[in-house]
Amino acid sequence: MILTVTLNTALDITYRVRSLRPHTSHRVTDVGERPGGKGVNVARVLAALGHEATVAGFAGGATGEVLRERLSAVAGVTDALVPVGGPTRRTIAVVDELTGDTTQLNEPGPHITPAEWGVFLDRYDELLPRASAVALCGSLPPGVPVGAYAGLIRAARTAGVPVLLDTSGEPLRRGVAARPDIIKPNADELAELTGSHEPLRATQDARRRGAHTVVASLGAEGLLAHTPEGRWRAVPPAPVLGNPTGAGDSAVAGLLSGLLDRLPWPDRLARTVALSTATVRSPTAGDFDRAAYEKLLERVTVTPA
């Protein structure tokens, strides 16, 4: 079982419009709604790849009820969310069908009380012994300590469970110091962490700060991986237009599934890039186009960096 932690879950809503223009009224051509938050998306992709996944974190209010109801219908995913008093947030993705661009609106999460945080920590400790890997994903809702991920990483390392961290800002900085097995920042997050806008130098610095392996998302330029076994760049065969929502989460799923399948790093990175690119091509946020994934897997270029 892979444990994915989403402290700031969301109900993801996708609107499609013919053309998005400021200061005008729009007729929505299609509406999609699904359980979301980074770790929830990771769990859904892992399940589609044949792995059992458990989702931990928080859910509350009417939005949280809808999220859990929708999550119960996802085969291969187990709900271990902690109920809270505040309402789960919503994220709104507006897809412009003319250009393929997406505009994202993210609500803040519910305020988590010290008692609710304590319940989550107890549940995390209960789940860790059964986990083959842990993914710590996304932002922290109000009330959760800024060093929360660092503590969760240390607990996973004590239990001997490999842990991947995918967050940003101060939670990332503190989390890296706790020595996670993998971090997956994008270019901006990596630059904020290290102060360097040169990706190769920045990945080296992130490893010096404590990350065992750094896999940086570089958008259309693919991935840059700096590992103890070597450095690689993985690039999709061509630029892709579409909805990028969830592409980074599919990348996390690719890295974790490759870890558990014991793939060598070049194959692991090819899977990761193919999954994230197929997610951009999918019409629904946070899903991936399986046919596109299988075709892309053979066309991703992986070279030493």
Q: Does the pLDDT at position 246 exceed 90?
A: no
The amino acid that residue 168 corresponds to is S
pLDDT at 70: 95
pLDDT band of 150, cuts 50, 70, 90: very high
Lowest-confidence segment of 167-176, 194-203, 231-240 by average pLDDT: 231-240
105-140 pLDDT, tens per residue?
A: 999 999 999 999 999 999 999 999 999 999 999 999
Average pLDDT over residues 29-38: 91
- pLDDT score, position 207: 98
Q: Considering the candidates 249, 261, 267, 289, report the single residue annotated as catalytic.
A: 249
Is the per-residue pLDDT at 283 higher than 70?
no
pLDDT of residue 266: 96
Question: Across residues 73-97, what is the average pLDDT?
Answer: 94
What backbone torsions phi and psi does residue 113 show, to the nearest 5 degrees? -80, 160
Residue 281 — very low, low, confident or very high, per pLDDT cuts 50/70/90?
Answer: confident
pTM as predicted = 0.93
Yes or no: say if 245 and 208 are a contact pair by the CB < 8 Å rule. no
- Would you say 253 and 262 are in contact if contact means Cβ atoms under 8 Å apart? no
What is the rounded average pLDDT of the residues 3-28?
A: 93
31 neighbors 83 (Cβ within 8 angstroms): no
Split at pLDDT 50, 70, 90, the class of 221 is confident
pLDDT of res. 140 = 96
Residue 244 pLDDT exceeds 80:
no
pLDDT value of residue 217: 94
Q: Which pLDDT score, from 0 to 100, does residue 93 have?
A: 85
Q: Report the sign of the C-alpha dihedral through residues 103, 85, 174, 170, in that order.
A: positive
Separation CA 50–CA 238 (nearest Å)? 28
Per the annotation, the verdict on 122 as an active-site residue is no
pLDDT per position as a tens digit, 53-63: 999 999 999 99
Number of neighbouring beta carbons within 10 Å of residue 63: 19
Q: What is the mean pLDDT of residues 235-258?
A: 87
pLDDT at 239: 77
- Mean pLDDT, range 82-89, rounded to an integer: 97
List, as one string, the DSSP characters of the chain.
-EEEEETT-EEEEEEEES---TTS---EEEEEEEEESHHHHHHHHHHHTT--EEEEEEEEHHHHHHHHHHHTTSTTEEEEEEEESSPPEEEEEEEETTT--EEEEE---PPPPHHHHHHHHHHHHHHGGG-SEEEEESPPPTTS-TTHHHHHHHHHHHTT--EEEE--HHHHHHHHHT--SEE--BHHHHHHHHS--SHHHHHHHHHHTT-SEEEEE-GGG-EEEEETTEEEEEE-SS---S--TTHHHHHHHHHHHHHHTT--HHHHHHHHHHHHHHHHHSSSTT---HHHHHHHHTT-EEEE-
Q: What is the mean pLDDT of the chain?
A: 94
Find, among 67, 80, 76, 75, the residue nearest to 34 by Cα.
Answer: 67
Residue 285 near residue 14 (C-beta atoms within 8 A) = yes
Q: Pairing state of beta strands 10-17 and 77-84?
A: unpaired
Query: Looking at this protein, which amino acid is placed at residue 137?
Result: C
pLDDT of amino acid 285: 56
Beta-carbon contacts of residue 158 (< 8 Å; ≥ 6 apart): none
Under the banding of pLDDT at 50, 70 and 90, the label for residue 181 is very high
